Amino acid sequence: MIGSMEHNEAVAFAQSWAQAWNSRDLERVLSHFAQDVVFTSPVAAQFRDSGVITGKDELREYWAEGLRRIPDLHFEVLGVYLGLHTLVINYRNQLGRLVCEVLVFEGDLVVRGHGTYLGEAGNPAGVR
């Protein structure tokens, strides 16, 4: 799907992704991810040394904990970038920090994801 996705479809995906996060609908967010997904993030390094989350079940556990720790979580999509099998969602989080979510697709599902933060170290997402 992503290989032939039009820009307007990518924008619609990103808006739906943000709405799912903003409504705290974790299962809706996870519906786009493959069972064997690998996700990396400097925030994940606060939960496990490697910063690597492997598999949908671990991703569910990690994000559920994040939602618990960040009750005011909110994402505002600023830009959507479309590549070959790759979608980048540039957004501002609840702390006003700039973030890019890099999603790599196989077919309709994300198989790799990377949370990246603009120049933030330590606690870029404001996890408590």
CATH number at residue 32: 3.10.450.50
**pLDDT tens for residues 12-24?**
999 999 999 999 9
Domain-embedded: residue 65: yes
Predicted TM-score (pTM) of this structure: 0.89
Domain-embedded: residue 29: yes
Starting at the edge strand that comes first in sequence, how are the strands of the sheet with 98-106 ordered? 52-54, 33-40, 109-117, 98-106, 86-92, 76-83
Range of the domain at 48: 2-117
Nearest to 107 by CA among 37, 50, 28: 37
Domain-embedded: residue 58: yes
Q: Give the span between the Cα atoms of 33 and 38, in whole angstroms.
A: 9
**pLDDT tens for residues 13-59?**
999 999 999 999 999 999 999 999 999 999 888 877 789 999 999 99
Total structural domains within the chain: 1
Domain-embedded: residue 126: no
Domain-embedded: residue 128: no
